[in-house]
């Protein structure tokens, strides 16, 4: 699925993966000739569609930026490195360090996604500096405080008043708290990003393209979570309560994922994850 918008000489195409593969967004930002890609999909079938879309855009892909070290945002690195050898693959060092956990994550996700997963990864080069330029348009790098991950980068294009938020913002999807469980820091991160300048377009990590109001919606969910997830409350009780409060939000499976040996879906049935969240 692609959502496209053109503004002030730039075009933004947001590609969304299939719901059963966590529906991650990737955003192609294009000027007349050149383009940047921010995140690059997860499983092979989605990545193939994204590759085709980027190829057919006719733009010269100059760089691929990875927002954070979760595989639903970097799973396409190998395929893109092969298909677009002239595009530089870039991420902040902290994000690269997190990507080194891929072999362990693959072990857990293979229960659900099997041979849809990449085996090895091509790792990005360190992203340095404060901004990149597409034609003469600036795209700023925002180093975020702890939010969904310890290290994450969002991107802001002032001339388009556009925030490419990665998993800083979710639109009508449950948030994944399993890495940091720190709603207060996450709220600060959103406030910091929202303060960067005027924002008309927000490209979330999951969910539809929105306006700046989806920042407030994400904060509302986090405040609810903070009330529900008090110390001592078991994570399965938190998951059930957040599903009750937000029955229409997608990806409730994210509420059931934890760090450590139980990360991913290993043992999912044993802890009572509703079967429909596991793809049947």
Residues that bind Zn ion (CB under 5 A): 24, 72, 167, 205
d(CA 224, CA 220): 6
Cβ–Cβ contacts within 10 Å for residue 75, how many?
30
- Cβ proximity to Zn ion: between 238 and 251 the closer is 251
Query: Phi-psi region for residue 176, left (φ > 0), alpha (ψ -120 to 50) or beta?
Result: beta
CB 1 within 8 A of CB 13: no
Beta carbons of 69 and 99 less than 8 angstroms apart: yes
Parallel, antiparallel, or unpaired: how do β-strands 162-170 and 25-30 relate? Answer: unpaired
| Minimum distance, C-beta of residue 234 to Zn ion, in the bound complex (Å) | 24
Min dist CB 52 to Zn ion, Å, is 22
Nearer residue to Zn ion within complex by CB, 24 or 76: 24
Residue with Cβ nearer Zn ion (24 or 124) = 24
Residue 69 in contact with residue 57, Cβ under 8 Å? no
Contact yes or no for 11/201 (Cβ under 8 A)? no
Smallest separation (angstroms) from Zn ion to the CB of 166:
8
Judged by beta carbon, residue 183 or residue 205, the one nearer Zn ion is 205
Closer CB to Zn ion, 75 or 84, in the complex: 75
Shortest distance, CB of residue 8 to Zn ion, whole angstroms?
Answer: 28
DSSP-based three-state secondary structure for 248: coil
State the nearest-atom distance from the C-beta of 108 to Zn ion, in Å: 15
Contact 50/76 with Cβ under 8 angstroms? yes
User: Hey, is 239 helix, strand or coil?
Assistant: helix
CB of 251 to Zn ion, least distance (A): 9
CB of 253 to Zn ion, least distance (A): 12
Alpha-carbon gap, residue 274 to 222, rounded angstroms: 22
Task: Between 31 and 193, name the residue whose CB sits nearer to Zn ion.
Answer: 193
Beta bridge mates, 90: 65, 125
Length of the chain: 280
Which is nearer to Zn ion, 134 or 258 (by Cβ)? 258
């Amino acid at each position: 699925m692609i959502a496209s918008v053109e503004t002030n000489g730039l075009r933004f195409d947001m590609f969304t993966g299939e719901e059963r593969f966590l529906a991650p967004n990737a955003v192609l930002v294009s000027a007349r000739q050149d383009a940047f890609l921010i995140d690059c999909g997860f499983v092979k079938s989605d990545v193939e569609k994204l590759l085709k879309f980027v190829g057919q855009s006719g733009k010269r892909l100059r760089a691929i930026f990875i927002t954070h070290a979760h595989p639903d945002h970097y799973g396409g690195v190998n395929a893109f490195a092969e298909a677009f050898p002239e595009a530089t693959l870039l991420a902040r060092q902290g994000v690269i360090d997190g990507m080194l956990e891929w072999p362990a994550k693959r072990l857990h996700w293979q229960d659900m996604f099997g041979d849809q997963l990449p085996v090895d990864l091509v790792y990005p080069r360190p992203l340095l500096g404060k901004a990149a330029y597409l034609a003469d348009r600036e795209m700023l790098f925002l180093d975020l405080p702890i939010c969904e991950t310890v290290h994450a980068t969002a991107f802001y294009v002032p001339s388009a008043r556009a925030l490419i938020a990665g998993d800083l913002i979710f639109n009508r999807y449950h948030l994944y708290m399993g890495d940091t469980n720190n709603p207060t820091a996450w709220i600060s991160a959103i406030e910091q990003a929202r303060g960067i300048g005027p924002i008309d377009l927000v490209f979330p990590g999951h969910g539809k393209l929105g306006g700046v109001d989806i920042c407030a919606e994400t904060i509302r969910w986090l405040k609810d979570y903070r009330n529900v997830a008090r110390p001592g409350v078991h994570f399965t009780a938190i998951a059930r309560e957040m599903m009750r409060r937000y029955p229409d939000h997608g990806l409730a499976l994210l509420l059931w994922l934890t760090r450590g040996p139980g990360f991913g879906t290993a043992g999912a049935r044993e802890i009572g994850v509703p079967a429909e969240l596991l793809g049947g």
